[in-house]
A and B are shown apart, each in its own frame.
Chain A
Amino acid sequence: GAVVSQHPSRVICKSGTSVKIECRSLDFQATTMFWYRQFPKQSLMLMATSNEGSKATYEQGVEKDKFLINHASLTLSTLTVTSAHPEDSSFYICSATSGGAADTQYFGPGTRLTVL
């Protein structure tokens, strides 16, 4: 149980284009989903927290107009990187929690974004 999928696993795009990444909880309803980014040999940095049906809460320093998050259902959240630039190249990972007592976050396999 507690499987989270992400799509695509890898994406290469040109500078200026937009990229959408999907995060799905496959066998549970995710009351909350989180989006992280991770640079090589660094830890996960939380970008935003999203609850189904409400606006995402962004961490300080994360541009909400650049990183659009939609959490339309209890099993799906999307992150759209708008007008991507090479500095946006990173490993993007989502996680989901069912809101149980431990609030354990289960992570998707990640999306490697490369902006040329």
Chain B
Amino acid sequence: GQNIDQPTEMTATEGAIVQINCTYQTSGFNGLFWYQQHAGEAPTFLSYNVLDGLEEKGRFSSFLSRSKGYSYLLLKELQMKDSASYLCAASYILTGGGNKLTFGTGTQLKVEL
């Protein structure tokens, strides 16, 4: 199977910057998604990277290096409401067509005062 690795927990201070890393297996890779999930709720889409480089969207940015099988999510100007689980999900091409997402275990981010 495809292993997605990301840290289990991170803690950061309100107003600071935090980077959440994710590594994945590159065989059949077709793109990298980041989702935010608050406790008891469904994941919400944050970003999608398919080409190498940095994608910026407001306070959130996501980076991808296809050759290294590496991505990170960068959160700036942290707010208390950013406390959530951040899921890294790699998309893989299915032999029969279509794509399939494999999720990491999620990084539980705690933002403190």
User: Are B31 and A43 within 8 A (Cβ)?
Assistant: no
User: Are A44 and B87 within 8 A (Cβ)?
Assistant: yes
- Per the CB 8 Å criterion, the residue count for chain B at the interface is 23
Residues of B within 8 A of A93 (CB): 42-43
Q: How many A-B residue pairs have CB under 8 A?
A: 50
- Pairs of residues from A and B, 9 with the lowest C-beta to C-beta distance, nearest first: A107-B42, A43-B103, A43-B105, A110-B42, A44-B103, A103-B99, A109-B42, A107-B43, A102-B48
Contact of B100 among A49, A91, A102 (CB under 8 A): A49
The 19 listed contacts between A and B (C-beta, < 8 Å) are A6-B42, A32-B98, A34-B101, A42-B105, A43-B105, A43-B106, A46-B100, A46-B101, A51-B98, A91-B40, A102-B31, A102-B48, A102-B50, A103-B99, A104-B33, A107-B35, A107-B43, A109-B41, A110-B42
A80 CB to nearest B CB, Å:
20
- Per the CB 8 Å criterion, the residue count for chain A at the interface is 24
A102 to B102, CA, bound (A): 15
A54 CB to nearest B CB, Å:
11
B22 CB to nearest A CB, Å:
12
A49 to B99, CA, bound (A): 10
- Interface membership of chain A positions 44-85, coded 1 if the CB is closer than 8 angstroms to chain B and 0 otherwise: 111001010000000000000000000000000000000000
Question: Is B91 an interface position by the 8 A CB rule?
Answer: yes
A36 CB to nearest B CB, Å:
8
Question: Is B44 an interface position by the 8 A CB rule?
Answer: yes
Residues of A within 8 A of B87 (CB): 43-44
User: Are B106 and A104 within 8 A (Cβ)?
Assistant: no
